[in-house]
């Protein structure tokens, strides 16, 4: 039987564990760039930034689902920790867009 540390290392090596967080950080960076370049004003056309942001958000969902399916039964405590980090990163990427009314 594997120790908890070995399981945590194994889970941490999985792209489905860290890739959604990285995608959320990229989306947050895109929101910051949009604010820096164009300000907070709402535009008539969404533009490339908005479309890329939407793709990043939607592309995370299958990765998160695959991670949950694979690890929740095998190592629930460690998997829930990773899933919480993914959920927080996703919320951090969605919150500015929601608050700005984009």
pLDDT tens, residue by residue, 27-61: 999 999 999 988 887 777 778 889 999 999 999 99
Cα→Cα distances 77→28, 61, 64, 65, Å: 28, 20, 16, 16
Number of domains making up the chain:
1
* C-alpha span between 83 and 92 (Å, rounded): 14
d(CA 71, CA 50): 32
Report the alpha-carbon distance of residue 83 to residue 80 in Å, rounded: 5
What is the pLDDT averaged over residues 64-75? 94
Query: Global pTM?
Result: 0.86
Domain of residue 26 covers 4-100
* Residue matched to tokens 């998160």: 64
């Amino acid at each position: 039987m594997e120790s908890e540390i070995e399981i945590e290392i194994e889970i941490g090596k999985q792209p489905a564990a860290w890739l959604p967080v990285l995608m959320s950080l990229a989306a947050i960076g895109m929101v910051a760039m949009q604010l820096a370049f164009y300000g907070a004003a709402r535009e008539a056309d969404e533009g490339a930034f908005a479309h890329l942001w939407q793709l990043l958000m939607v592309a995370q969902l299958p990765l998160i689902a695959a991670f949950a399916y694979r690890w929740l039964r095998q190592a629930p405590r460690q998997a829930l920790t990773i899933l919480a980090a993914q959920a927080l990163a996703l919320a951090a990427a969605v919150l500015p867009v929601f608050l700005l009314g984009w």
